[in-house]
Structure 1
Amino acid sequence: MLVVALALFDKSGRILLQQRLPGKHHGGLWEFPGGKVESDETPRVALVREIEEELGLHLEPGSLTPAFFAEEPGDRAVVLNLYTASFEGGELVGRDGQAWGWFAHEDAANLPLAPMDRQLLAFLHR
């Protein structure tokens, strides 16, 4: 399964993370926002759609820069492609009822993160 996520940075260099809802895979853990790529979408288009659906933020596909990827093997093998972008302002709303926040790298690293998101956060800090 192909999944996309966004490392969105504010002007202070903090990263936007959201908390997965209880009852979902990795429920309660923190992650980069994003979601599954549908069969008729490119990864960038899927990420724009997911960010709009989850946070009410519209991004232009061209503003997304490919960064890293992570893999989760198993019955539900997942490849997560991470993109980066700068937050240019706007109102963010957890439309699915999820908690979200801006975190300095050190604070983000101390959160209970989903395993692939922890890997990707480490790559961002290099």
Structure 2
Amino acid sequence: MSFPTVLVAAVALVDDDNRVLIAQRPDGKSMAGLWEFPGGKVETGETPETALIRELKEELAIDVTEACLAPLTFASHTYEKFHLLMPLYVCRRWSGTPRPIEGQTLKWVRAPRLGDFAMPPADIPLIAMLRDLL
């Protein structure tokens, strides 16, 4: 069976205290209630980096430059109706204070505790990479 591949870019925002920002998907969205790394779908004509810059501005009201996005790893996961390919970047520098613009709940978490939060299946393997990095 063939599935469309969906490209989504995500970022681990890491603060000065080495905590990672995660966001809880709001009611009404698919996988509502699960925690994820901020980001979103890469639109036609966008690179993953430009998609992240746009999504972070829309979702969290922060400004990020491409130079501050460091690629770390990626997830490749087949869901029921599509295949997700998701590069994960690390970002330690941005302008502004992250605010939940789209009704999501935000939480700063230490890397060893990321596994305590229910996450979409594609995000779970990324936790070990972040633990090793931080």
TM-score by length of 2: 0.88
Q: 1:89 to 1:103 in 2, by over 3 A?
A: farther
Distance change in 2, residues 1:87/1:16 (3 Å): farther
Task: State the distance in 2 between where 1:79 and 1:114 align.
Answer: 13
Structure 1 unaligned residues grouped into runs of 5+: none
Which runs of at least 4 in structure 1 moved beyond 3 Å after TM superposition? none
Distance in 1 (CA, whole Å) between partners of 2:98 and 2:130 is 23
Deviation at 1:106, TM superposition (A): 2.5
Q: Percent identity?
A: 38
- Partners in 1 of 2:43 and 2:95 — Cα distance? 28
Mapped to 2, the partners of 1:110 and 1:92 lie a distance apart of: 22
Among candidates 32, 43, 48, match of residue 27 of structure 1: 32
What is the alpha-carbon distance in structure 2 between the residues aligned to residue 36 and residue 109 of structure 1?
24
**TM-score (normalizing by structure 1):** 0.93
Q: Which residue of 2 aligns with 1:71?
A: 76
RMSD of aligned alpha carbons: 1.3
Q: Which runs of 5+ in 2 are unaligned?
A: 1-5
SS of alignment partner, residue 115 of structure 1: coil
How many residue pairs were aligned? 126
